[in-house]
Amino acid sequence: MRGLDLGYFIRRIGMFLLVIFVAASFNFMIPRLAPGNPIGAITSRMSNASAGIENGQAMFEAYRERFGLDDPLYIQYTKYMWNTLRLDFGESLSAYPAEVWDIIGPAIGWSISLIGVSVLITFVLGILIGALLAWKGTPGILKSLLSLTMIGGVLPYYLLAMLLLYFFAFTAHVLPMSGAVESGMARELSWPFIKSAFRHAILPASSIILTSLGGWALSMRGLMVNTIGEDYMLLAEAKGLRKSRILWRYAIRNAIPPQLMHLAIALGHVVSGAILVEIVFSYPGLGYQLYMSIVNSDYTVIQGITLILAVSVGLAVLIIDLVYPRLDPRVTYVAESSG
Amino acid sequence: MNTATVQNNTRPNSGVNIWKTARVVLGFFNNNRLFTFGVLLLLALFLFGYIGEMTTSRKMADMGAAKLNLRPSAENLLGTDGLGRDMFTVMVIGIPNTFKIGFLAGAVGVLIGALMGLIAGFYKGYTDTIFSSFADVMLVIPTLAILITVSAYVRVVTVEIMAVIVGLLSWPLPARLIRSQTLSLRERLFVDVARLSGQNDFEIIIFQILPNLTAYLAASFVGAVSGGILASVGLEVLGLGPQNVPTIGRTLYYAFNYSALFKGMWWWWGPPLVTLAIIFTGLFMMSVSLDKYANPRLQGSTHN
């Protein structure tokens, strides 16, 4: 591939593996650093749920053995890492004997479509708005109208989500309040299903789009201002090229790749924000499941979701990084890149 | 100790003169109206909380301190919530708490970030590779997921613990910014001069490089405070924040759990929402304004 040598490729893959390794280690350490122990949490939850536990001590031991908590720490760690590597997260504690995957699996689809579509729309709109804000030929009125998009960036994701929920779903009844489809609807690829899913996604997606749009537009504007100052822009103008061609092929085209790099860095934040948006709308994605598993003290599911989130963001960033040299010929990783 | 002073080429007049400093500071505020406005906005909110606290008794923020679900009136300026708490008192105590979390988290984040950035940028090589890789990895991992997990295990009890946990995860961005600047600063002439005049690495970092990073540190701090408040309020809204202490996020948590939205109790969810909007507007104005000094990309474009 052009501008992409083996060393860089290996380094990037190594980075990705490091992300997974660190995330998994966090997952392993956090519960063990916490006061008390996970089993105590489980048994106390059980005794709260029922009046008391029969054979409490035996159950305690059984759990200890099941989770290998009697082994020395390094063996626990190795076992844990091995299981993680095989993406085996074990059984859910609150919905036993359901596997963690049975809970995470369906949620992943919803999350990916919600976040993916929102990010795509935000990215495209952000580029357009930012470009128009920096472009000299944009009418003043349009510029001030476009600056209004910055307002959304002032509110946190979840607050805008709550406001949208209140005005559009609760007060005006134009859009559904929660869920991803009408309740009881079977998951199938049919027209009513898609329509329902679309209607349910409008508000959560809007919260993500409206709150992050301003930031994207602002950074795109910064990149555009820089690009417009380049000499080749002057040359293009001197050659008498059409204004629209200069805008699209010369200015915007050159400002997009760095913007894509921003996306790679910001993706973790977007996903964090989306977690909260999902919770507000009870949208059955990973964020909502994470919340539910915390409410239910379902630690295996919590760990599974945290890891899946880290892995998917890491994967997305890896892909962006690997295609980047193809999009931006100015960047080659053949020479030693010092960051 | 060798005390040869090296003139720092970016600040020729380093003689301490209170009036001159005051004039410079005032001039900065005057030249950066947006920044000033943002600061005033936050200051006004802070004073509201601080002065308001003197006019009311903390007890009014306890459950059952007043009648339930009262509309705003002369007696309860912002009404009472569904659990009988006086909303005015809740806000007045909650606002300083939220500021405290934000500033503490921001300070922790920038402190760690600056330290890592300075070391990585100054020593380059393997040190840099290790520090930068770690920062990059932490940038990729969705912080909130980790925070939620941590808070689920460590049921956070105090505002301070909350702030430190949030702060511990907010260092990567400052670290990157400071590192990239340190990389360029360490090649400047005044660093060579300082080394020749006998300063050791520590002195060079503290007395030569750090002073030139003021704008970047300030910008990082504003960003980290903003991120800290964003994350902590997010956790509080989920019920994972400090228990038994009124904070903005916790107020929202109760408002939503008791369906304040659907009962039409706007005085319950409105004040925390407006407060957050003011806080983030203020911080946004400050950061946009500081960007001019701290964003190398924008500096190069002034000729345009």
Is A250 contained in some domain? yes
Lookup result for tokens 């053949």: A334
Q: Which of B149, B273, B299 to mutate to test the interface with A (most CBs of A within 10 A)?
A: B149
Is A101 contained in some domain? no
What confidence score (pLDDT) does residue B40 get?
A: 93
Which positions in chain A touch B286 (Cβ < 8 Å)?
A: none
What confidence score (pLDDT) does residue A203 get?
A: 92
In this complex, which of A159, A226, A272 lies closest to B301 when CB atoms are compared?
Answer: A226
Is A239 contained in some domain? yes
Lowest-pLDDT range of A56-70, A134-148, B88-102, B129-143: A56-70
Quote the number of domains for chain A. 1
- Residues 263..282 of A with a Cβ closer than 8 Å to B: which? 265, 267-269, 271-273, 275-276, 279
In this complex, which of A33, A223, A317 lies closest to B140 when CB atoms are compared?
Answer: A317
Which positions in chain B touch A297 (Cβ < 8 Å)?
A: 152
Q: What are phi and psi of B295, to 5 degrees?
A: -105, 105
Q: Which of A158, A300, A336 to mutate to test the interface with B (most CBs of B within 10 A)?
A: A158
What confidence score (pLDDT) does residue A35 get?
A: 62
Is A224 contained in some domain? yes
Which positions in chain B touch A228 (Cβ < 8 Å)?
A: 304
Q: Which of B37, B131, B148, B154 to mutate to test the interface with A (most CBs of A within 10 A)?
A: B148
Higher pLDDT, A48 or A329: A329
Which positions in chain B touch A303 (Cβ < 8 Å)?
A: 149
pLDDT at B117 over 90: yes
Mean pLDDT of chain A: 81
In this complex, which of A165, A268, A294 lies closest to B141 when CB atoms are compared?
Answer: A268
- Provide CB contacts within 8 A for A315, sequence distance 6+: A16
The whole-number average pLDDT for the span B126-130 is 89
Is the Cβ–Cβ distance between B25 and B36 less than 8 Å? Answer: no
Q: For residue A274, which of A110, A30, A154 has the smallest C-alpha distance?
A: A110
Lowest-pLDDT range of A63-77, A109-123, A290-304, B215-229: A63-77
Q: Tell me, what amino acid is at B58?
A: R
CATH number at residue A200: 1.10.3720.10
CB-based contact (8 Å) between A334 and chain B? no
Rounded CA-CA distance B112/B116 in Å is: 6
Determine the 3-state secondary structure of A99 from DSSP: strand
The whole-number average pLDDT for the span A58-63 is 68
What confidence score (pLDDT) does residue A111 get?
A: 92
What confidence score (pLDDT) does residue A225 get?
A: 83
What confidence score (pLDDT) does residue B118 get?
A: 94
What confidence score (pLDDT) does residue A65 get?
A: 67
In this complex, which of B143, B180, B303 lies closest to A268 when CB atoms are compared?
Answer: B143
What confidence score (pLDDT) does residue B279 get?
A: 92
Confidence tier at A73 by pLDDT (50, 70, 90): confident
Confidence tier at A333 by pLDDT (50, 70, 90): low
Is A221 contained in some domain? yes
What confidence score (pLDDT) does residue B33 get?
A: 85
User: pLDDT tens digits for A157-211?
Assistant: 888 888 888 888 888 888 888 888 877 776 777 888 888 888 889 999 999 999 8
Rounded CA-CA distance B65/B215 in Å is: 47
What confidence score (pLDDT) does residue A48 get?
A: 61
The whole-number average pLDDT for the span B74-102 is 84
Rounded CA-CA distance B209/B183 in Å is: 10
Is A57 contained in some domain? no
Lowest-pLDDT range of A83-92, A309-318, B40-49: A83-92
Confidence tier at A57 by pLDDT (50, 70, 90): low
pLDDT at A247 over 80: yes
Please answer yes or no on whether B146 and A317 come within 8 Å at the CB atom: no
What confidence score (pLDDT) does residue A121 get?
A: 93
Lookup result for tokens 């929102």: A118
Is A126 contained in some domain? yes
What confidence score (pLDDT) does residue A148 get?
A: 81
Q: How far is B113 from chain A (nearest CA, A)?
A: 16
Domain extent for A118: 110-297
pLDDT at B223 over 70: yes
What confidence score (pLDDT) does residue A189 get?
A: 74
Neighbouring CB atoms inside 10 A of B62's CB total 17
CB-based contact (8 Å) between A114 and chain B? no
CB-based contact (8 Å) between A290 and chain B? yes
Confidence tier at B296 by pLDDT (50, 70, 90): low
